[in-house]
Amino acid sequence: MTTGIETARMTTRRPGISVVYPMFNEEENIERAVHFAEAVLTDLTSDYEILIVNDASTDRSAEIAEALARSNPCVKVFHHERNLKLGGALRTGFSNATKELVFYCDSDLPVDLTELNRAVRMMEFTRSDIVSALSV
């Protein structure tokens, strides 16, 4: 026999999640960051997308990002012809995000993406529109 809480957990629809990675010369980080996001997101929801914003990188970042997008249809890449800095890259990512929740992280992974599950639960429990966190 299941309790009401267990039934609610089993039938609760998990929101779609967009993860935005602004990127400038991140050839050493972007593949690891995308694979980590894929692993976390597939455990969290069936409806996700990973948006890579290439902010006019001069290394192999764009080539690597495009290969990642070819291997997973949930990965989308946007390119800037000139560097628009972090603010411009975030605007591009946020304006192209299509999911209910949007998360931003640098591709050198200063945040543990496994914390996304906790953030989503916190939003659901408190009925919050936004959660902001920092690493100390």
What gap in Å lies between CA 36 and CA 19, rounded to an integer?
11
What gap in Å lies between CA 136 and CA 124, rounded to an integer?
25
Which DSSP category does 25 fall into? S
The CATH number that applies at residue 35 is 3.90.550.10
- Which range, of 9-13, 33-37, 81-85, 91-95, averages the lowest pLDDT? 9-13
Q: Provide the residue range defining the domain that includes 25.
A: 15-97
If DSSP codes are grouped into helix, strand and coil, which group holds residue 62? helix
| 114 occurs within a structural domain | no
| 117 occurs within a structural domain | no
| 10 occurs within a structural domain | no
What gap in Å lies between CA 93 and CA 70, rounded to an integer?
19
| 68 occurs within a structural domain | yes
- Number of structural domains (the chain) is 1
Residues 10, 3 contacting (CB under 8 angstroms): no
| 49 occurs within a structural domain | yes
| pLDDT 10s digits, 75-131 | 999 999 999 999 999 999 999 999 999 999 999 888 888 999 999 888 889 998 888
Q: What's the half-sphere exposure (Cβ side, CA atoms, 13 Å) at 117?
A: 9
| 102 occurs within a structural domain | no
Alpha carbon distances (Å) from 52 to 113, 121, 129: 16, 25, 23
State pTM to two decimals.
Answer: 0.87
